[in-house]
Structure 1
Amino acid sequence: MNDKTSLRRNRLTYFVIYMSEDELEDINPIVIGTLEEIRKNANTFHLLPKELFNSIDIFSKIFQLPRHTSDLFKIPFHLLTELNNMSHSIIFLPKYLVDTISNMESIIDYEGALVLYEEGCYDEAVKLDTKLRPILGIKSFGEFRSCSPMKIWSDLQDLFENGHSERIDIPNLDKFLSGKELNLLPAFFYTIQNDDFEKFMVQSQDVDHILEYVSGTLDNYNIRIKTMSAIKEKLSEDKTINKRLYETELKKNLNVNFKPLVVTLPGIPNIQTKRYRGDGLEDNYEIELLSIKNLGLYRAISRSAAYLELGYMGKELFDIIYKLEEHCKENISNKFIWKSMERIGDILASQLSGFELELLRNSKQISYFSELPFGLAILPGTTSPLNCYTPISGKGLTPLLRIYQSELSGVNDVLILDKCKIIIAECLKKDDSIRSYSDEGWSAIEKFWSIDEKIEIIREETNTVHRLKKFIKKNQDADILIVSAHGHYDTDRKITGILVGDELWFGNDNDFHVPEVVLLSACHVSPKGLGAINVSDLFFRNGAICVMGTLIPIHVQKNILLMNRLITYISEAMNGRTELDTLDRIWCHVVGTNAILEIIESSKKLKKWATQRNRGQSPLEKFMMNKSGVQLRPKHIYEDSIERLMEIAKEEKMEEYINAVIQSKGIFPESVFYILLGNPELVYFQLPKFMN
């Protein structure tokens, strides 16, 4: 049994009621309709409902209010830099749902702070007020827009005064920030805690350099605290020695980027853009961009991250992604693949300033909101895809209403500490051509991990959708679900699913609940080039906070090897043998270190030479022990891995052959075409530092 814990902190919950009379009886994410019906219901490219238009600015105003009761008082500064999930809790409801919600016995687990309502929803706001008793009562949108943020902060501080905690200085904010000023918000709570709010307000006048200011502010705080943490055990009574220690450690940290980055990049594939041509969607650009900015700001505030806001730039990028995905279905030209990834990086870089490019290239972790798979980009100054050296996770932008619902209420951390229970659903038919390879691989994994106290693996044949759901239901305590199946990608209908035995399943039912982590060991279940509805995205409706999918067809044996390497590092993390503590960091390491395995797969002769022992050690073992002395740089992991392997090959006069193979065939980087969606950075396999 897993001792699994989700962190629940003292969040303040804000309710937003908006006008909508369109009751949805059957909540199905896949709606089949004619082109005319689809065009009629589309208000923006990312499908933001018109009913939400009047509410969008309300969300960015809530971001300027306390997230937690702890925001009202001084937080130990070392703790402030370690917390990476301090988010607002915002629950927004259509008018017609308030009666149903009001009759529920328990609505929220957090402190109800304020109910905000659109004009025309007063009666519903009163019902919610009666049920919840929010500490600040109710306000109409109009009242809220004109009120003083400083007054709300002051009222909350007085209400939660406990006589023990030191009160912060209330931010001197007479009116809410708006427009470009909003991009300051990722540094908002840092400056309040550090009594730097006046500098913050001065910077709000220089809107052209906000990103540099926010990034510098976060760097300054992080570097100071990391430096103090590193030397605290060495401090003495001698101030001169302490100063020298601090300055020495500070120099080490000055060039280290300790902060994450959040990116928003709107845009849809060309085929969809053409579908809406002439429908006036361009008229709603501004409201859609603000709604997307809200998502980026919300995530950046909660993660103590910098925020990079990009505009629509999808046309050529989607074409490249589509051609890549189609190319990988047939005879593969590795040169085409590498050139395509370089082109993606070049296009992104062309839209960035030098500072923004440096930020993208050197961030500690990246999470993005976009339909484009950021991780494939080979940026200028690097020779490896971004997901080889930076932990990266993505979330699509379509439909925006669904993303708002899943994001703004807050996502809790998931702690998998004592035991990780992994269930494997085998959906391949017994007579399938690759079933024997699947059985051999998963059986070996089951046997190998049966002696590890931290890992529990249960595998079952699930050759119907009914059996799959039954298997999941009887293992509700599982932490990770692996689905071994064939993927199905219908490019005409633009939808992906999985084959469960003979049944094609899109995962769009409402009668099952999956573990927080779902790994789809299936071909092209998450393609992006055509804007298809992906089965991988639909698992978020049923309990997942992180889903791994694939952009292209994958090789069954290579996939099982990757899954085994992932489980290996999960075990290492749980046993305290690595500093890789979250799922995104672990997966990034798996992908980066997989480069050497993909290199030796370039030819059968090369693989045989690399894995065959000669005088006690194989070339691959020598590679792992770095007998050559060539260092591996994550941003150049393929290039450096080849160089290290070539140094080893010189001893056995194999370098000319290896060079010829690589030059003629190239390297197929299959692992970079896996994509982590959702919030893998919140899945912990070690106790987070701030909880120690």
Structure 2
Amino acid sequence: MNSDIFSYVIVFNSTKETANISPLLFKSRHDIIDDNSSMHMLDEDLIDIIPAIKYVLHLPRFIYDVIDCPDKVMLMWNGISHNIILIPDNQIKYIEYYYNRIKSCPTLFIVSDNCSTSIIDICNNYRAILGMCKVSELTETLLNDHWNSLALFAQKYIGINEVLPIKHCFLSDENLPALPLLFYANQLNEQDLLIKDLAKTNNKIEETCIKWACKYSMMLATWSYFINNNIDTSTITEEQYRTISERNIRFNNSVVASLPGQSKNLKKNHISNSDYSLIDSQIISIICIHKAIDKNGIYIELPIIQDDAFTLLDELESHCTDSQRYNNKYIWNTITKIGKLLGNKLNDYQINALKYAKDNTFFSDFPIGLAILPGDEVPLLCYKSITYRPLTPLTRQLQFELLPKRSITLKKKFKIAFAQCIDNDDKIFDYSEYVYGFIQNRPDCFTINHATIKTVEEMIGFVNRNRDADILYISAHGWYKKDQNIAGIAIGSDIWMANENLVFPPVVILSACHVSPRGRGAVCISDLIMRNGAIAVLGTSIPVDVIRNDILMVRLFTYMVEIFEKRRESQDLSQLWNHIVFTNAIHEIMKQSKGLEKWMYEEIAPNKTRLHEFELERCVGRLRPNYVYSDTIAIIKEMLNDDGLHGKYDSILNNKDFFPESFFYQWIGSPDSIMIDNTESND
């Protein structure tokens, strides 16, 4: 579909000399701060082109935005947002590199007013579909001219006659969250109705967006029903449509939310010296709206997270790092306090949107999935698919978001590169190798390349040799230095932060302790791996138990096997992980008592343990997402009663005296862009 996708280039004046051909240079938190006016560290050279990015978000994404789009095509809109390349003027000569990479041709060049005449001439020479204009020339009149020109382009070169006669206008900054809805409103000739409704919001933009999102979600679900049942939509009566659509009246949209704010530890160490600014707000809104368009979802702007939430998180991570034995009651109480702090800052529309969303994407340096929202007994991450996208440094996050979306599909026999960094004389070596053995014993599902890594040089070589891998699995000891505020992994006698110029596979699993702590705003290896090309990275924020970790990892690959064997529907990686966390309550409760664990693993019939009975029979249809631990405990007590053990293990079951380790695993990046597919491989 690349030939149908429009691509926009925004050229800004750079005050920095560079030979790097990345559109924007990555800078670590330790060297990005001079006189920066942005809390989340935005390159000030980008400030002048903020109006240009907003302008492009009002333009068509692809050919189907300017034509009367068929119902079937609208049902496949998910995963389409604007392709926007931000490039410094001193790198304009490399523009061909980017267009060869995304296999597209330029639609429009927008040039910062302070760029030189020679830069303007270069942009004009590329003969983009809409030519070139300056930032100061962007008006509503030009916006409509550009839409009309692209409609003519569709008619002339694609052979499409039914274009949309639409008059476009700019949404105010307050109403920008409604921008993802406009593309559907355009198709249904409802843009005027939507804009009039926005004018009556009275600062209740979430309410209006949720209402319209529900309407369009219901419409798409209804069309999908008719199309999947081979019913000609042109013959449907109004009563038929109403009957089916009433079944689909619910909020089932993706939610993209911003939660700005930084750990006070960064300010204390002079890594960030600014408060939250209007510039931060505008860029974060742009990023979130772009993602909401991509996911056919809605954008919700959450309040700035306060220092006390980061302090609680830091105390929680420190307790888990420094304690010889976890205080489980303290852990649950702290998670509850974090939820109350955040819940008190959110309105009812925001809370309900997060709870009932199809999935949640958070642009934040804080793992909000840990929060127990009002009315729940478990964190949001237990029952919602969650993706984290760290905001800092904001320059890099902006670049990642605006470039073309990367996604992959994992089919049977996809390649796993397994890097074993644990010494074979280490007491946890055999546990670490257990996961490798599980994968190796399923050659019909996975192709695996295993290597023992003893030096950083060997790791770099292994990564370079396995660029074609789909998943890089790294088993290692984590290394978190709070005094330096950095978190990496130990390889031999060295510490590795993955800050070399490497190209990583799309999925990286860091099977290691505290490689992604967030309470102190540490520079983490997980974030740096994202910088080097990974689409999704799994890391932990605390030390993890090797046996519990094995259970989680084996369950992850087990469910992949079930998908490949068509015993489970295809899922994206984020959905699959959410199911693992949701159903991990039984394992975490069992691990708190050797007696309970032994009892659950006892065989009660040939090839059937009590754990099998729980998972395959007792819990089916009885685990409520928001109350999974209470429901799990109730079923365990029921099983104990049936076995004449009433009251057994009540000291654990009644007091939440168990450690929820799975809460402290985080996917960052876009695990929702990694599909595990049960159709046959093309190989």
Q: Fold conserved (TM > 0.5)?
A: yes
| Mapped pair 1:564 → 2:558 | no
Distance 1:53 1:358, change over 3 A: same
User: Per-residue CA shift, 1:554-599, capped at 9, x if unaligned?
Assistant: 1122212211111122232334332341010011011111111111
Match of 1:224 among 219, 226, 238: 219
Distance 1:99 1:444, change over 3 A: closer
Distance 1:239 1:404, change over 3 A: closer
Q: 1:63·1:88 contact (CA, 8 Å) conserved in 2?
A: yes
Q: 1:150·1:170 contact (CA, 8 Å) conserved in 2?
A: no
1:614 paired residue number: 604
Distance 2:445 2:632 in 1: 32
Amino acid of the structure 2 residue aligned with 1:396: P
Question: 1:52 offset after TM fit, Å?
Answer: 1.3
Distance 1:243 1:92, change over 3 A: closer
Q: 1:525·1:550 contact (CA, 8 Å) conserved in 2?
A: yes
Amino acid of the structure 1 residue aligned with 2:303: G
Amino acid of the structure 1 residue aligned with 2:16: D
User: Per-residue CA shift, 1:178-198, capped at 9, x if unaligned?
Assistant: 220212102011111121111
| Mapped pair 1:420 → 2:414 | yes
Question: 1:54 offset after TM fit, Å?
Answer: 1.4
Matching of residues 349-388 of structure 1 within 5 Å = 349-388=343-382
Question: 1:45 offset after TM fit, Å?
Answer: 0.9
Question: 1:147 offset after TM fit, Å?
Answer: 4.4
Question: 1:473 offset after TM fit, Å?
Answer: 2.4
| Mapped pair 1:132 → 2:132 | no
Distance 1:144 1:485, change over 3 A: same
Question: 1:213 offset after TM fit, Å?
Answer: 2.3
Distance 1:241 1:310, change over 3 A: closer
Distance 1:481 1:275, change over 3 A: closer
Q: 1:153·1:170 contact (CA, 8 Å) conserved in 2?
A: no
2:632 paired residue number: 641
Distance 1:253 1:103 in 2: 46
Match of 1:469 among 422, 445, 460: 460
| Mapped pair 1:520 → 2:510 | yes
Question: 1:531 offset after TM fit, Å?
Answer: 0.5
Distance 1:488 1:141 in 2: 46
Matching of residues 669-688 of structure 1 within 5 Å = 669-686=660-677
| Mapped pair 1:298 → 2:293 | no
Amino acid of the structure 2 residue aligned with 1:301: I
Question: 1:261 offset after TM fit, Å?
Answer: 0.2
Match of 1:586 among 576, 580, 586: 576
Question: 1:615 offset after TM fit, Å?
Answer: 4.5
Question: 1:29 offset after TM fit, Å?
Answer: 4.2
| Mapped pair 1:444 → 2:437 | yes
User: Per-residue CA shift, 1:108-158, capped at 9, x if unaligned?
Assistant: 522311111112214354354255321111111101246431121001111
Question: 1:233 offset after TM fit, Å?
Answer: 5.9
Match of 1:482 among 473, 477, 480: 473
2:252 paired residue number: 258
Q: 2:40·2:393 contact (CA, 8 Å) conserved in 1?
A: yes
Distance 1:655 1:308, change over 3 A: farther
1:54 paired residue number: 48
1:182 paired residue number: 176
Distance 2:466 2:101 in 1: 27
1:660 paired residue number: 651
Distance 1:334 1:405 in 2: 41
| Mapped pair 1:121 → 2:111 | no
Amino acid of the structure 1 residue aligned with 2:386: I
2:317 paired residue number: 325
Q: 1:16·1:93 contact (CA, 8 Å) conserved in 2?
A: yes
Distance 1:436 1:22, change over 3 A: same
| Mapped pair 1:504 → 2:495 | yes
2:532 paired residue number: 542
Distance 1:225 1:669, change over 3 A: same
1:601 paired residue number: 591
1:4 paired residue number: none
Q: 2:479·2:515 contact (CA, 8 Å) conserved in 1?
A: yes
Q: 2:254·2:297 contact (CA, 8 Å) conserved in 1?
A: yes
Distance 1:585 1:546 in 2: 13
Distance 1:105 1:631 in 2: 52
Q: 1:566·1:590 contact (CA, 8 Å) conserved in 2?
A: yes
1:214 paired residue number: 209
2:447 paired residue number: 456
User: Per-residue CA shift, 1:461-495, capped at 9, x if unaligned?
Assistant: 11112222222222222111110011111111111
Match of 1:308 among 275, 297, 300: 300
Please say which of residues 317-326 and 410-419 is displaced more in the overlay.
410-419
Distance 1:234 1:145, change over 3 A: closer
**Alignment root-mean-square deviation, CA:** 2.7
User: Per-residue CA shift, 1:338-393, capped at 9, x if unaligned?
Assistant: 12222222222212221221111110110010000021111112212111111110
Q: 1:449·1:457 contact (CA, 8 Å) conserved in 2?
A: no
Q: 2:13·2:114 contact (CA, 8 Å) conserved in 1?
A: yes
Please say which of residues 415-424 and 269-278 is displaced more in the overlay.
269-278
| Mapped pair 1:288 → 2:280 | yes
Distance 1:178 1:463 in 2: 56
Tell me the TM-score normalized by structure 1. 0.91
Q: 1:611·1:619 contact (CA, 8 Å) conserved in 2?
A: yes
Secondary structure of 1:361 counterpart: helix
Distance 1:103 1:164 in 2: 30
Distance 1:607 1:81, change over 3 A: same
Secondary structure of 1:91 counterpart: strand
Amino acid of the structure 2 residue aligned with 1:351: K
Q: 1:628·1:647 contact (CA, 8 Å) conserved in 2?
A: no
Distance 2:464 2:523 in 1: 25
5+ unaligned residues in a row in structure 1: which ranges? Answer: 1-6
User: Per-residue CA shift, 1:254-311, capped at 9, x if unaligned?
Assistant: 24x32100000110012224556996x34x7111111111111111111111111023
1:13 paired residue number: 7
Amino acid of the structure 1 residue aligned with 2:559: Y
Amino acid of the structure 2 residue aligned with 1:528: R
Distance 1:669 1:494 in 2: 25
Distance 1:687 1:143, change over 3 A: farther
Distance 1:272 1:94 in 2: 28
Q: 2:261·2:306 contact (CA, 8 Å) conserved in 1?
A: yes
Distance 2:104 2:280 in 1: 29
Secondary structure of 1:160 counterpart: helix
How many residue pairs get matched? 670
Distance 1:415 1:273 in 2: 41
1:3 paired residue number: none
Distance 1:145 1:465, change over 3 A: farther
Distance 1:560 1:414 in 2: 25
Amino acid of the structure 1 residue aligned with 2:290: Y
